Structure 1
Amino acid sequence: MKNIIFDLGDVIIPIDLRAPLRNFAQLANRTEAEMEALWKQHGIWKQYETGLVDDEAFRAAVRSLVRDESDEPDRWADEIIDTAWNSVLLDLPVERIERIQSLKGKYRLFLLSNTNAIHIREVDNRLAELGQPSLESLFDQVYYSHIVRMLKPNPDIYGYVLEQANLEPSETLFLDDNLLNIQAAAALGIRAVQVVAPKTILDYLDEIGA
């Protein structure tokens, strides 16, 4: 094994996928179920995470989706939307970052994540507060869905990474928490391992001797 590809959410940083729904629901004086129905119907998150809309368009879509005409303008200011959106990200375990750093020079390291610019800036800000390097500097290359305009588990995104980084699938380990993502990568010959709690990447890396 010469290469390791990491997912971000629930692999490097723990996440709570329902936290943004709860926070947007509270801001909009709606129930979480109502907010979830609106969110799924609109699909703005998918457009954002495939780079079809930018930060401003995403925020504008959130406002148009949930803002009441009687709301004060500041109630849906950029920073409030960003804070609610970033609530998906839980505390960042420093030991996982340090473990990835320890692998540099032993393996080629990559990050492949379904994500967006607001989340990446927040993770990088948290890394800086902890005195850690940015995500981009931790890896040989990062591949974000909103930049490459593809989402896992689309097989094309794995093919893109293999081609761009000149990787042999059989020499490449992929760590992701999502089973569909794992299955899609494995179908291309990548050594794909699902990260399942309570285990963390520290446990899986120990098991393979990395």
Structure 2
Amino acid sequence: MVKTIIFDFGNVFINLDIEGALLHALKTFNIESLSNEMTAFNNLYEQGLISTDEFLEFYTENFPKLSKEDLIEVWNFMLKDFPKHRLEFLQNLKKENKYKLILLSNTNALHIKWIKENIPFYEDFKNCFNAFYLSHEIHLVKPNNNIFEFVLNENNLKAKACLFIDDNKDNINTAESLGFKTWHINPNTEDVVNLFNTKNHLFD
């Protein structure tokens, strides 16, 4: 029986377009697509394997006319959707007090800073969860640590009693390999608030 629901932050609750934001920042350099080197570097940043300062340094060294302020400002472009009805869904779910609610996020320091400053109900959203883990912080302290195993150990949980919800199939596969129940959503067609209207067998 599921006792804990673990949500991924990116795209389940907020749609972040990392590549779109960078291309928006680099448009003055007539760049229409990211190089393999940029993509690899961005992936390291998303995973928390490099710091925000290293991320900014990489782009400002490669594009001397691009300032850190330019890059930070363009993160405004990344906020695509943060519908308030999802906050209400979480608040109602917490009131039921049937499950422990945990949020995992690859969201890094730049994103979190912008989100905190621009979403008036961010703290209310965060308070819906019993625990909130930023994977980039975990990776920077423990680079070889699997975030799923970290969360299980931190909360003394059994994977089979956890439901993990994400739009990323790779993350879903990793969670399933560890014994989690999972629900793979498509954020464009299937909203997380439909969780209790479908796939009810997940809670058996």
Shift in CA distance, 17/166, structure 1 to aligned 2, threshold 3 Å: same
* 1:46 aligns to 2:43 (yes or no): yes
Aligned partner of 1:32 in structure 2 is 32
Aligned partner of 2:156 in structure 1 is 166
Shift in CA distance, 60/17, structure 1 to aligned 2, threshold 3 Å: closer
Query: What TM-score does the superposition give when structure 2 sets the normalisation length?
Result: 0.82
TM superposition shift of 1:180? 1.0
* 1:113 aligns to 2:78 (yes or no): no
SS of corresponding position for 1:60: helix
Where do 5+ consecutive residues of structure 2 fail to align?
none
* 1:12 aligns to 2:13 (yes or no): yes
SS of corresponding position for 2:146: helix
Q: Distance in 1 between matches of 2:179 and 2:105?
A: 19
Where do 5+ consecutive residues of structure 1 fail to align?
none
Report the residue type matching 1:140 in the other structure. Answer: N
Report the residue type matching 1:65 in the other structure. Answer: N
The aligned length equals: 194
TM superposition shift of 1:20? 1.7
SS of corresponding position for 2:15: coil
Query: What TM-score does the superposition give when structure 1 sets the normalisation length?
Result: 0.80
Aligned residues: percent identity?
30
* 1:199 aligns to 2:190 (yes or no): yes
* 1:60 aligns to 2:57 (yes or no): yes
Q: Distance in 2 between matches of 1:179 and 1:51?
A: 19
RMSD: 2.5
Aligned partner of 1:180 in structure 2 is 170
SS of corresponding position for 1:111: strand
Q: Distance in 2 between matches of 1:132 and 1:120?
A: 10
The superposition leaves residues 69-100 of structure 1 with CA deviations (integer Å, 9 ceiling, x where unpaired) of xx3xxx5142x211224523312111112211
Moved over 6 A (4+): none
SS of corresponding position for 1:192: strand
